[in-house]
Amino acid sequence: MSAAEHLGDLLSALADGELTSFEAAAAQTHVTQCSVCAAELDDVTTARAFVRGLPQLDPPFGFYERVLRHDRRLAAAGTGWKGRRVAAAAFGSAAAAVVLLGLAPPRDTPVSPPVNSLVEAHATGASFGGDPLSRLAPIGVPVTFRR
């Protein structure tokens, strides 16, 4: 597979673990050589992680009953133009909800940065460049940033 032939749908199958071991190995090899597919795989993985990280919400009281009642009404109406219009309206509402959720500003979460840990993460990470001795020595001294 050349870099010009991108993986397309195979990327989400790869992320979902739906490929055979042979297919997965071939896809992984391609991803290491193709920056476009590597970036797409990053996107897919990030999106999956984001969706999985969304909080679970309980539906409002009576929601399932109303859906079932609505479903029975649709079945009674058959698959005529009325049914299709109701389905289209439902799809439209769902799409609008997705768009509104996407456009809503992120919720403000109070953050207390763990400054001690961040200082240690910085100093130890920085010690890979240049001289480790002078970079690591300062965190040999315990530091607290609490009130």
List contacts with other proteins (CB under 8 A): 8, 35-36, 38-40, 42-43, 46-47, 95, 98-99, 102-103, 105-106, 108-115, 118-143, 145-147
State the nearest-atom distance from the C-beta of 86 to other proteins, in Å. Answer: 18
130: left (phi over 0), alpha (psi -120 to 50) or beta: left
For residues 8 and 41, give the distance between their C-alpha atoms in angstroms, rounded to a whole number: 10
CA angle 119, 120, 124 (to 5 degrees): 120
State the nearest-atom distance from the C-beta of 98 to other proteins, in Å. Answer: 7
Nearest residue to 73 via CA among 61, 86, 60: 86
State the nearest-atom distance from the C-beta of 75 to other proteins, in Å. Answer: 25
